[in-house]
């Protein structure tokens, strides 16, 4: 039997795909007091909830097919921009964790510091603004490649491009960056976990092996 969630339902199941999954692979939604569908990323809101696979295309499909009312057994209204709202919330969670990790000295910025951390095998992942200069990204990619030969499994640490410089300024304010790295520790691991979730939600997971704008492991 699967784990019993707070809605009294065995095994969390996506209302669109009908696939069962772990909580980290799904997003919980509830109907607010006004009847509007609300994303419950922390899985703490009261009332009956339903689950949707944590991918933007799947959330959009749930909205288009008006599946929330049936799943929530209530007259629930899902705004057409619900998928975009989830993206904003996931981005906000990631930004908050980046700031927390920075305070814990587990998130560093600046190309030189990032390069050094990667080569010293201290970095869990690197982050670049989507509009970062190609030369700066290339130098850190070279460090990732060099460091991979020193790792037991010979794999490169992940590289993420999730926000432009202006988006990072809006998200992080004075803590915005062009190049950054998450370091070992609970907060640093939290940054990587949330970055992976946001990237997967946006549908960029296929770029991992293609060197696209998202997470790359070249």
Domain positions in the chain are 12-80, 84-209
**For residue 165, what are its two tokens?**
């410089």
Using a cut of 0.85, tell me whether the model's pTM lies above it: yes
Domain formed by 84-209, architecture: 2-Layer Sandwich (3.30)
Which H/E stretch holds residue 51?
A: strand 49-53
Write the pLDDT tens digit of every residue in 37-55.
999 999 999 999 999 999 9
Q: Which CATH architecture has domain 12-80?
A: 2-Layer Sandwich (3.30)
Contact between residue 127 and residue 198 where contact means Cβ atoms under 8 Å apart: no
Per residue in 111-157, pLDDT (tens digit) is 999 999 999 999 999 999 999 999 999 999 999 999 999 988 889 99
């Amino acid at each position: 039997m699967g784990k019993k969630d707070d809605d009294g339902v065995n095994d969390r199941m996506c209302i669109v795909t009908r696939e069962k999954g772990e909580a980290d692979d799904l997003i919980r939604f509830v109907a607010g007091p006004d009847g509007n569908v609300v994303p419950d990323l922390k899985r703490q809101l009261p009332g009956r909830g339903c689950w949707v696979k944590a991918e933007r295309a799947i959330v959009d499909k749930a909205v288009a097919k008006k599946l929330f009312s049936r799943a929530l057994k209530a007259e629930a209204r899902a705004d057409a921009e619900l998928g975009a709202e989830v993206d904003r919330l996931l981005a906000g969670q990631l930004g908050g964790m980046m700031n927390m990790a920075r305070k814990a000295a587990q998130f560093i910025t600046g190309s030189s510091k990032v390069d050094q951390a990667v080569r010293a095998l201290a970095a869990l992942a690197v982050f670049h603004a989507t509009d970062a200069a190609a030369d700066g990204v290339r130098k850190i990619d070279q460090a990732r490649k060099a460091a991979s030969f020193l790792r037991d499994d010979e794999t490169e640490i992940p590289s993420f491009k999730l926000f432009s410089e202006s988006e990072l300024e809006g998200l992080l304010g004075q803590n915005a960056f062009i190049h950054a790295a998450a370091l070992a520790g609970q907060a640093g691991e939290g940054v990587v976990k949330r970055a992976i979730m946001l990237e997967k939600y946006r549908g960029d997971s296929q770029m991992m092996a293609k060197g696209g704008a998202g997470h790359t492991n070249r």
